[in-house]
Amino acid sequence: MDGRLTFLGTGTSMGVPTLGCECAVGTSADPRDGRLRPAGLVRWQETGQEAGQERAVVIDTGPDFREQALRAALKRVDAVFYTHSHADHVLGLDDLRPLSFAALREGGPIPLYASAETAAALEQIFEYTFSAQATYPTRARVQLKPLAERNAVQGVEFLRVPVWHGEMEIAGFRFGSAAYLTDVSAIPDQSFALLEGLEVLVLSALRYKPHPSHATVEQALGWARRIGAKQTWLTHIAHELSHAETNRALPAGVALAHDGLTVAVTL
Ligand SMILES: [Zn+2]
Ligand SMILES: [Zn+2]
């Protein structure tokens, strides 16, 4: 089935421009140097009984989610998958509210797939949403679902791909012939087996200088070669990397993504 992957945001946790910084990338006139916090959107058209219905799965709802949803003209969400509980990936959860009211009218709360650790953090941060005693009338109508190895959303399977983010094991996702791996500092050997035959690979690459919990461009290029996807897109990018300049230096088949970029995927 044909689908589309949209980069809702391609910036690192602080976003680009970074507050208080007037570096060349932060003040660049190239719109591709402006980066909201990292998130992805997978969309496809229903072909069965509800032919024509658009399905939408969001990967992470960071602090820029509302702006990203407006830019992507997102009118409904079928599910959200969370990679991990860091602020740049979860703090926009509350902006699911209007979309969750629509989902509830259609049949039920929006399922949020999260590991036990991520779910515990979400329950703590958004206590007024998830507590059994929650009565706030306009709370998000969302439902945490345990993230399994394989998770089906409206007939499309989202496979969990474990990766390391510093000391934390977090989730990447494979859907069809595409995979989305963010905040990666190491990829366990078993996960490479889940990444065979990819057409589209999304990998995080922070900058050139090493960082304890994020891959450099060099590390990401090494994994990109090993995985061998037809096209690899880099995301979670800091203000050290100029879009145009970095892309000129990258090998064929690897490029920096930018906010709003949409690529075709086979689901
Ligand atoms: Zn992050
Ligand atoms: Zn993180």
- Over residues 186-214, the pLDDT tens digits come to 999 999 999 999 999 999 999 999 999 99
Q: What percent of the chain has pLDDT over 70?
A: 100
Question: Which ligand has the nearest atom to the CA of 62?
Answer: 1
Cα(86) to ligand 1 centroid in Å equals 6
- Tell me which ligand sits closest to the C-alpha of residue 15: 1
| Residue 184 predicted with pLDDT over 90 | yes
Residue 118 CA from chain centroid, whole number: 15
- Given a contact cutoff of 8 angstroms between Cβ atoms, the answer to whether 91 and 126 are in contact is no
Residue 69, Ramachandran bin (φ over 0: left; ψ between -120 and 50: alpha; else beta): alpha
**Tokens 């996702």, residue?**
173
Among left, alpha and beta (phi > 0; psi -120 to 50; other), residue 52 is left
Structure confidence at residue 209 (pLDDT): 95
In the prediction, which pLDDT does 47 show? 85
CA 181 – ligand 2 centroid, Å: 11
* Distance (Å) from CA 235 to ligand 1 centroid: 10
Residue 237 Cα, ligand 2 centroid: separation in angstroms? 12
Instruction: Tell how far the Cα of 227 is from the centroid of ligand 2, in angstroms.
Output: 22
pLDDT, tens digit, 9 for 90 and up, residues 216-245: 999 999 999 999 999 999 999 999 999 999
Tell me the CA–centroid distance for residue 7 and ligand 2, in Å.
17
Rounded to a whole number of angstroms, the CA Rg of the chain reads: 18
CA of 121 to the centre of ligand 2 (A): 13
Instruction: Give the model confidence (pLDDT) of 41-77 as tens digits.
Output: 999 999 877 788 999 999 999 999 999 999 999 999 9
155 C-alpha to center of ligand 2: Å?
Answer: 29
Determine the pLDDT at residue 104: 94
> What confidence tier does 160 reach under pLDDT thresholds 50, 70, 90?
very high
pLDDT band at 109 (very low <50, low <70, confident <90, very high): very high
Q: What is the pTM of this model?
A: 0.97
Torsion of CA 176, 177, 178, 179, to 10 degrees: 80
Q: Are strands 39-45 and 2-9 parallel, antiparallel or unpaired?
A: antiparallel
| Segment 9-21, tens digit of pLDDT | 999 999 999 999 9
